[in-house]
Amino acid sequence: MTTEIIESFSELSLSENTLKALTEMGFEKPSPIQAQGIPAVMGGSDVIGQAQTGTGKTAAFGIPVLERIDTSQNAVQALVLCPTRELAVQVSQELGRLGKFHRGIKIEAIYGGDSIDRQIRSLKKGVHIVVGTPGRVMDHMERRTLKFDEVKMMVLDEADEMLDMGFREDIESILAEMPEERQTILFSATMSKPIMSITKRFLNDPILIKVVRNELTNQNIEQVCYEVKPQAKLEVMTRLIDMYHLKSLLVFCNTKRKVDEIVEELQLRGYASEGIHGDLRQQQRSNVMSKFKAGVTTILVATDVAARGIDVSGLDGVINYDIPLDEEYYVHRIGRTGRAGMSGKAFSLVARDEKFRLRQIENYTKVKIEKGVIPSFEDIVGVRKARFVESITATIENGETDMYQDVLEMLQHSGYAIEQIVGAMAKQIMGVQKNEYSDGNLAWEERRGGDRRESSDRYDRGRGGSRFDRGGDRRGGGDRFERRSFGDSKKGAAPEAGMTRLFLSLGRKDHILPKDIVGAIAGESNIPGKTIGAIDIYDKFTFVDVPERDARTVLRAMDGNTIKGKPVQIDIAKQ
């Protein structure tokens, strides 16, 4: 690959329609992955791109895809596979913006949780670019509603995530159905053995593009973690906001539902907050970001995927409400603050069962994250009192209070002492009220005998691995999973400590495999497939163990959903 420095998109031989869209979107110069990736993909070669999240990968493959679409041909010409429906929606929206001035290009996102009948109708009308999750793409393949005869380009976005979620067999099946004369582009943050296996089997003499990641940590960022009981996280977060007077703050969660819950709670407490996640339409997203940039909203709560592309200067801090599921996400999160020589704060709220993730982050970043002391209720009252006094002093010194001076006299005539009046005003303005957490200990304590290992370590696997044996192949159509991994849990036995057992209304008669269950749960509830525990499949039903902290999230996410196109009922199993 050429090492020539490219300073503008106009140097990449792009059409006027694409350049016009890039200008409207505010892109000034290509990122490193775009500068290297766009020429390679435009040249028709198979490409492997190793780059971290948030480097501009979508445009790196999206622009060449759009440039090569023939609108006179009413057929699917490009397929983009994504690990989650949230990312699939985001990628399709990004392609829509990049292709705004390319007349006639039709893009469709297909994923679980959306009406398959609506998707079928759209596909029958004719679509040029399909962006989808592996499970739903397989559903359409089996129904023969998605045909690949005219596909020229195949993109695997965040391939390592898809493999971690158990989609390897689906990905291989989809690639096997593709025309041999096609171009394949694969993006992955890591180059694991399973990734290399796929590239060897399905890519033809690929060009490797590797973008060196930025500094993992910023010296201007103060990193502190707080060991917090899960139910007290919101209380601790608001205390930190008050204690450090954070006026512009990004709060990160791992799920969309958690974003909505936190925003609602913060608003009830009087904090100007908004949420942003994959379910928001583009207009809603734009409105939220406009208010945040203008300072009308001071707290923005977001998922990792939805936060991609957010570039807000002057952030006071970042709070990891949930510890991220991937070490790279932590780096991207805290990198939002402490920019341009300014100082920033990165606070992480760590529940007991998230401690192992924090250790992985420390190993990854080679930085020891300082353990903080949770501010007490008395600390917050003291801080608010001091700010109240400062505010009143500034108002008095500013003058122009004559028209309000009779208020004190009016209240005194009502029989109240000056101390009572000032105290009532302070209480009303400061807004500090006691709650169930005011006098309690919000930090969790170490169990006797030391900290237990996180339940996801129940099977022997290395860091970043999975309880699946991902090294096998599909020869002979055999089951690639280690069956012993699923036989440990018996129907009448209690799940392992830290896990909750769920009941699913599908079983062997429905022809489901462990990878189908893992793919559905991980894809819909946005939890990593490697944290899912034992799976016992019976004739008409299945038991699956998930971490206690994620059980409710899984139940809500899977409500009304399907596995392999079949409706599934899911509930907590009776012991």
Q: pTM to 2 decimals?
A: 0.51
**Which residues does 463 contact at the CB level (< 8 Å), separation at least 6?**
360
Count CA atoms closer than 13 A to 504's CA, side-chain side. 33
Q: Give the pLDDT confidence of 421-436 residue by residue, as tens digits.
A: 878 777 777 666 666 6
Per DSSP (E only), the strands in 212-286 are 221-227, 249-253, 273-276
Residue 350: pLDDT over 60: yes
Quick: pLDDT tens for 238-258. 999 988 889 899 999 988 889
- Residue 137: the pLDDT is 95
pLDDT (0 to 100) of residue 200: 92
Amino acid identity for residue 387 in this structure = R
215-225 average pLDDT score = 71
Question: Which of 222, 231, 244, 229 minimizes the C-alpha distance to 299?
Answer: 244
Going through 478-554 in order, the beta strands assigned E by DSSP cover 499-504, 535-537, 542-547
Question: Using 50, 70 and 90 to split pLDDT, how confident is the model at 20?
Answer: very high
Q: Between 317 and 365, where is the model more confident?
A: 317
Chain-wide mean pLDDT for the chain? 81
pLDDT of residue 218: 53
Judge whether residue 467 has pLDDT over 70. Answer: no
Flag the least confident range among 127-141, 363-377, 390-404, 536-550.
390-404
Q: Which pLDDT does position 337 carry in this prediction? A: 81
- Quote the pLDDT of residue 479: 33
**Residue 17, Cβ neighbours under 10 Å: how many?**
17
pLDDT tens for 253-270 read: 988 889 999 999 999 888
pLDDT of residue 468: 34
pLDDT band at 346 (very low <50, low <70, confident <90, very high): very high
| Three-class secondary structure of residue 252 per DSSP | strand
Q: Which residue has the higher pLDDT, 399 or 503?
A: 503
Mean pLDDT, residues 38-64: 86
Residue among 483, 542, 477, 534 at smallest CA distance from 508: 542
Question: Residue 41 above 90 pLDDT?
Answer: yes
Please state, in angstroms and rounded to a whole number, the distance separating the CA atoms of residues 527 and 283. Answer: 28
Whether 70 contacts 287, CB under 8 Å: no
| Domain(s) of CATH 3.40.50.300: residues in the chain | 9-210, 221-374
The pLDDT assigned to 437 comes to: 67
User: Does pLDDT of 313 surpass 60?
Assistant: yes
The CATH class for the domain spanning 9-210 reads alpha beta
Instruction: Give the mean pLDDT of 203-231.
Output: 79
- Which CATH superfamily groups domain 221-374? P-loop containing nucleotide triphosphate hydrolases (3.40.50.300)
What are the tens digits of pLDDT across the range 85-104? 778 888 999 999 999 999 99
Q: Which amino acid is at 492?
A: G
Closest-CA residue to 232 (of 442, 446, 444, 445): 442
> Is pLDDT above 80 for 196?
yes
Output 15 or 424, whichever has higher pLDDT: 15
User: How far apart (Å, rounded) are the C-alpha atoms in residues 243 and 30?
Assistant: 40
pLDDT bucket at 221, cuts 50 / 70 / 90: confident
What's the CATH architecture for 456-572? 2-Layer Sandwich (3.30)
| Least confident residue range of 112-126, 303-317, 453-467, 534-548 | 453-467
Locate CATH 3.30.70.330 in the chain.
456-572
Question: Does the pLDDT at position 454 exceed 50?
Answer: no
